[in-house]
Amino acid sequence: MLKGIDPRVTPDLMDVLMRLGHGDEILVVDSNYPAFSVPTRTGRVVDLSGVNVVEALDLITRLMPLDGFTDYGALWMERDGAGDTPDPVHVEALAVITAALPEGAQVRSIERQAFYAHAAKTFAVVRTTENRPFGCFILRMGVVF
């Protein structure tokens, strides 16, 4: 047991976060996402049962700094045909992500198939029990000052 750590942060999630270096990326996804077929670099899937994607993003961004030195600190998956018009799950999640971004950093949307291609290069997948579709995000590790 650790003091000051939310009990929903599992040992597996803490291990993944501790292994990230600047520029590494993790995928935080809804329950529909093909989590076990994606993480080609490490094969790591962390299950956060009973946690929705917005809660997971909040837990993670309290511990993980987002990147402010590149063109994005986070990406979100666009719904087919919607472009960068966010769904309700995106609006809620973007509020959490935006609050965690360092000054000047950005969060961007990415078309679904491009998201899948990009996701194959992530370090690990954090699978939530979020049941709203397209609730999928990529977070890029920043630096601690």
User: Could you read off the pLDDT of 12-53 as tens digits, one per residue?
Assistant: 999 999 999 999 999 999 999 999 887 666 679 999 999 999
User: Could you read off the pLDDT of 107-139 as tens digits, one per residue?
Assistant: 999 999 999 999 999 999 999 999 999 999 999
Residue 40 is predicted with a pLDDT of 67
**Helix or strand run (H / E) with residue 28:** strand 25-29
HEC secondary structure over 75-120: EEECCCCCCCCCCHHHHHHHHHHHHHCCCCCCEEEECHHHHHHHHC
- Which has the higher per-residue pLDDT, 1 or 2? 2
Instruction: Answer for the pair 46, 126: CB distance below 8 angstroms, yes or no.
Output: yes
User: Could you read off the pLDDT of 54-64 as tens digits, one per residue?
Assistant: 999 999 999 99
By C-alpha distance, which of 15, 117, 104 is closest to 63? 15
For residue 49, count other CB atoms closer than 10 A to its CB. Answer: 10
Domains and their CATH numbers in the chain: 11-121+134-140 (3.40.1650.10)
Task: Please say if the pLDDT value at position 2 is more than 90.
Answer: no
User: Could you read off the pLDDT of 68-98 as tens digits, one per residue?
Assistant: 999 999 999 999 999 899 999 999 999 999 9
Catalytic site positions:
22
CA–CA dist 46, 32 (Å, integer): 15
Residue 38 is predicted with a pLDDT of 77
By C-alpha distance, which of 73, 94, 78, 76 is closest to 24? 73
**Helix or strand run (H / E) with residue 63:** helix 53-63
Helix (H, G, I), strand (E, B) or coil at 138: strand
Residue 70 is predicted with a pLDDT of 93
